[in-house]
Amino acid sequence: MRSITSADVARESGVSRTTVSYVLNDTAGVTISPATRVRVRETAQRLGYTPSAAARALRTGRSDLVLAVLPDWPLGPSLDTLLEHLAATLAERDLSLLVHHSRSRRSLSELWRAVTPRAVVGFTAFSPAERAAMERAGIQVLGTMLEADPTQPGSFSVSQREVGRRQARHLVERGHRRLGYAAPTDPRLADFHDRRLTGVAEECAERGLPEPLVVAVELEVASAGAAVRTWRAAAPPVTAVAAYNDDVALAVLAGARAAGAAVPQELAVVGVDDVPAARLASPPLTTVWQSLAEQAHHLGVTVLAALDGEPAPPRPADLLEVVVRSST
């Protein structure tokens, strides 16, 4: 079954393909009689005409795709949400999301060369060379969630350092003077973890508190129990723990239970993410919540602005919030 082309629409409405293109694209600086406009639009509608993305991309040198490059590590429970909102925002401009999992690192450069996306959104860091190559090809490159300075152009999202600072600040305001940090064991999480930990450490330093005592904890009771004993045996003892995320925090809770440490009296715990299990834990988990929807929307709007050559829109203010429950 041959698909409908602009030539079909042109023939059916008795005009040239040029006119069809002008009308359907609302091309500026060209005058077409209202009657013709209406006729062309109606014909296109009636025939179910959709312009070929391939032809358009070939002609213009640029596709209507935005390439999202995902890391090979789990981005968290709400990557789903993030991509959905991002896609929704981009769809307003008829842009679609092509996802690439950086698992197969080698083919990324082939992919962007082949599809000539309008923009590339990296959820993982690009090498400077790759970034430069993409920019030279006229592709807008949006930075990673790991940028040192999230306010710089071409980057987005909440600073991971700020996440850590919020955790620490909450704990310190609760009166704790010696903090622990529960790190994930998955090495692929190292980049995120480093930045969050830096935030915790900075907050401690500014308040004149000792460095946080970092212990890696696996997502099981035995490992977490050992971690809890380590913290409590320290001198001075750790009385509050900031965990990499809710999963790790839940492990610490389980470890405290196993080690016979009362939460929050003997050990306070704060996570990150506010997964559903957080409020259901015993005791319910205090955690730092991030507005993924807003972050994703902001990201989408940033991409759009970049395509228009406009400055990045200001980042929304309260993307982070401490949800206080009984674990602190």
Partner DNA sequence: CTGAAAGCGCTTACAG
Positions that interact with DNA (CB under 7 A): 2-7, 14-22, 24-25, 27, 30-33, 36, 49, 51-52, 55-56, 58-61
Contact 249, 285 (CB under 8 A): yes
**Residue 321, CB half-sphere, CA atoms under 13 Å: how many?**
12
Of 297 and 315, the one with the shorter C-beta distance to its own copies is 297
Of 62 and 174, the one with the shorter C-beta distance to DNA is 62
Of 199 and 255, the one with the shorter C-beta distance to its own copies is 255
Instruction: Check binding of 114 to its own copies (CB under 8 A).
Output: yes
Contact 64, 92 (CB under 8 A): no
From the list DNA, its own copies, none, partner contacted by residue 155 (C-beta under 5 to 8 A by kind):
none
What is the nearest approach in angstroms of its own copies to the Cβ of residue 136? 5
Dihedral sign for Cα atoms in the order 224, 225, 226, 230: positive
Query: H or E segment at 121?
Result: strand 119-122
Pick the stretch among 77-85, 160-168, 193-201, 299-307 that binds its own copies (CB under 8 A): 77-85
Site string for its own copies, 118-147 (x = CB under 8 A): ------------------xxx---------
Distance CA 268, CA 261 (A): 10
Pick the stretch among 38-46, 174-182, 262-270, 280-288 that binds its own copies (CB under 8 A): 280-288
Q: Could you give the 3-state DSSP secondary structure of residue 292?
A: helix
From the list DNA, its own copies, none, partner contacted by residue 47 (C-beta under 5 to 8 A by kind):
none
Instruction: Check binding of 98 to its own copies (CB under 8 A).
Output: yes
Q: Count each helix (H run) and each strand (E run) in the chain, helices first.
A: 13, 10
Q: Which candidate, 249, 192, 182, places its Cα nearest to that of 217?
A: 182
Instruction: Check binding of 222 to its own copies (CB under 8 A).
Output: no
What is the nearest approach in angstroms of its own copies to the Cβ of residue 259? 13
Q: Which candidate, 109, 108, 78, 83, places its Cα nearest to that of 96?
A: 83
Neighbours of 13 (CB within 10 A): 21
Of 55 and 205, the one with the shorter C-beta distance to its own copies is 55
Of 120 and 254, the one with the shorter C-beta distance to its own copies is 254
| The only residue of 201, 253, 259, 301 in contact with its own copies, by rule CB under 8 A | 253
Q: Could you give the 3-state DSSP secondary structure of residue 132?
A: helix
Of 202 and 266, the one with the shorter C-beta distance to its own copies is 266
Q: What is the CA radius of gyration of the chain?
A: 26
